[in-house]
């Protein structure tokens, strides 16, 4: 009778420090898993399984939304829709890249770093996608054609470089200075998010009277903002697992909750953007210039090249780093050998 033997799992004391997750004690995969082992782990309950599926499944939901929109909108010929196309593509890319990063991050120490370099780069592109649609559809009426409006997308392109570079660098001090690493990573992602949402925050919290673009999307925008801050809170605090280490290793730890909140937040963001795009179409086409290729598809293409260059440089640096003493490697190989 045929039987499938799933890869063995380890405790935190049996894997190198680079694989340690805060307050997660059990459920670690072999730190030198094969690609096949990583794929098998999709159907085995480990401390990464829910992380993988909470981003892999939403990828197809967002892709389905993109395909549905492609039947009602003329992405090819109508420039007004280009910012939405860029945003929808980035919303499909970031959860898929994250799910791949979590799937294959246990193949080796270097593979783990490189996987998450790509994860950070995808999040940077998503922040640019958000900035692109915010410039096109979310900007308050009174800010249209201002200096801030004209330079909003170029500034967001620069922010992707900062975000990817700083987040990739944050993995360098991770073992010796984990608190510094965490702060750098939070800053790397909070900074572009806060910048992208300046027009929205103004509409929601500061603007009054005419020119604020107050409409039926406001309650949905509030939900997106609330979930975004909850996502950041979960990422920064490691709750609830830090209150009971070992109790949330497989189900319910902060990274899983952070993934779920991020996806639901993106859903509400997407819904509000599409509603703003539709309800403000007549006014925006009359008072604002049509989105250009340079500020939409061109900006994302340029940022993609910059991000890939940053990822390549940090990845190459991993191979320039001196190896651990050979004796220690022999001990590690023996300790993590699967029976």
Residue 122 gets the label, from left (phi > 0), alpha (psi -120 to 50) or beta, of alpha
pLDDT at 209: 79
pLDDT at 7: 83
Region 317-331 average pLDDT: 58
At residue 9, φ and ψ (nearest 5 deg) are -105, 160
Residue 250 is assigned to a structural domain of this protein: yes
pLDDT at 155: 98
Region 272-294 average pLDDT: 95
**Distance separating alpha carbons of residues 146 and 333, to the nearest angstrom:** 60
Q: What angle do CA 160, 114, 127 make, to 5 degrees?
A: 20
- The helix/strand/coil state of 329 is helix
pLDDT at 86: 97
E-assigned strand segments in the chain: 10-11, 26-28
At which residue do the structure tokens 């593979």 appear? Answer: 111
Contact criterion met (CB below 8 Å) for 228 and 295:
no
Tell whether the model's pLDDT for residue 300 goes beyond 80. yes
What residues form DSSP beta bridges with 28?
10
DSSP state of 7: P
Q: Who wins on pLDDT, 2 or 161? A: 161
Contact criterion met (CB below 8 Å) for 98 and 119:
yes
Tell whether the model's pLDDT for residue 51 goes beyond 70. yes
Residue 321 is assigned to a structural domain of this protein: yes
Read off the CATH number of the domain in which 237 is found. 1.20.1070
How many alpha carbons lie under 13 Å from residue 231 in its C-beta half-sphere? 18
pLDDT at 102: 98
Overall number of domains in the chain: 1
**Distance separating alpha carbons of residues 59 and 126, to the nearest angstrom:** 13
**Distance separating alpha carbons of residues 200 and 214, to the nearest angstrom:** 11
Tell whether the model's pLDDT for residue 76 goes beyond 80. yes
Tell whether the model's pLDDT for residue 115 goes beyond 70. yes
Region 292-312 average pLDDT: 97
Chain segment 242-268, per-residue pLDDT in tens:
999 999 999 999 999 999 999 999 999
Tell whether the model's pLDDT for residue 213 goes beyond 90. no
Contact criterion met (CB below 8 Å) for 95 and 260:
no
pLDDT at 85: 98
pLDDT band (50, 70, 90) for residue 286: very high
Tell whether the model's pLDDT for residue 201 goes beyond 60. yes
Residue 335 is assigned to a structural domain of this protein: no
pLDDT at 328: 42
* Run of H or E residues at 310: helix 299-320
**Distance separating alpha carbons of residues 20 and 13, to the nearest angstrom:** 9
- pLDDT averaged over every residue in the chain: 92
Q: What percent of the chain has pLDDT over 70?
A: 93
Region 68-94 average pLDDT: 97
Residue 35 is assigned to a structural domain of this protein: no
Region 303-315 average pLDDT: 98
Q: What percent of the chain has pLDDT over 90?
A: 88
pLDDT at 175: 86
Residue 264 is assigned to a structural domain of this protein: yes
DSSP-assigned states of every residue in 142-163:
GGTTSHHHHHHHHHHHHHHHHH
Q: How many other C-beta atoms lie within 10 A of the C-beta of residue 325?
A: 9
Region 150-156 average pLDDT: 97
**Distance separating alpha carbons of residues 336 and 33, to the nearest angstrom:** 10
pLDDT band (50, 70, 90) for residue 327: very low
Structure pTM?
0.93
Residue 127 is assigned to a structural domain of this protein: yes
Domain residues for 57? 48-328
Burial class (CB in 10 A: 0-12, 13-18, 19+), 334: exposed
* Run of H or E residues at 28: strand 26-28
Region 221-235 average pLDDT: 97
At residue 28, φ and ψ (nearest 5 deg) are -80, 140
pLDDT at 40: 92
């Amino acid at each position: 009778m045929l039987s499938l033997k799933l890869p063995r799992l380890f405790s935190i004391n049996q894997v190198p420090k680079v694989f340690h997750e805060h307050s997660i004690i059990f459920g670690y995969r072999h730190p030198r898993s094969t690609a096949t082992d990583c794929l098998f782990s999709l159907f085995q309950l480990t401390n990464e399984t829910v992380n993988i599926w909470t981003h892999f499944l939403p990828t197809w939901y967002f892709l389905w939304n993109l395909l549905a929109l492609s039947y009602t909108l003329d992405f090819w010929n109508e420039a007004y829709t280009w910012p939405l196309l860029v945003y929808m593509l980035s919303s499909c890319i970031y959860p898929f890249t994250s799910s791949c990063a979590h799937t294959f991050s246990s193949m080796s120490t270097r593979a783990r770093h490189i996987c998450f370099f790509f994860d950070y780069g995808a999040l940077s592109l998503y922040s640019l996608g958000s900035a692109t649609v915010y410039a096109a559809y979310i900007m308050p009426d009174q800010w249209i054609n201002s200096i801030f409006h004209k330079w909003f997308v170029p500034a967001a392109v620069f922010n992707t470089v900062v975000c990817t570079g700083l987040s990739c660098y944050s993995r360098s001090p991770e073992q010796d200075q984990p608190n510094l690493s965490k702060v750098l990573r939070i800053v790397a992602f909070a900074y572009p998010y806060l910048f992208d949402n300046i027009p929205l925050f103004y509409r929601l919290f500061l603007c009054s009277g005419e020119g604020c673009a107050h409409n039926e999307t406001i309650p949905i925008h509030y939900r997106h903002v609330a979930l975004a801050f909850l996502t950041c809170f979960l990422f920064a605090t490691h709750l609830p697992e830090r209150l009971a280490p070992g109790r949330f290793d497989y189900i319910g730890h902060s990274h899983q909750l952070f993934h779920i909140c991020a996806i639901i937040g993106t859903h509400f963001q997407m819904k509000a953007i599409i509603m703003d795009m539709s309800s403000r179409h007549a006014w925006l086409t009359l008072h604002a210039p049509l989105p250009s290729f340079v500020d939409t598809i061109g900006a994302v293409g340029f940022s993609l090249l910059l991000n890939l260059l940053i990822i390549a440089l940090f990845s190459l640096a991993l191979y320039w780093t001196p190896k651990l003493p050979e004796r220690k490697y022999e001990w590690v190989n023996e300790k993590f050998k699967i029976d």
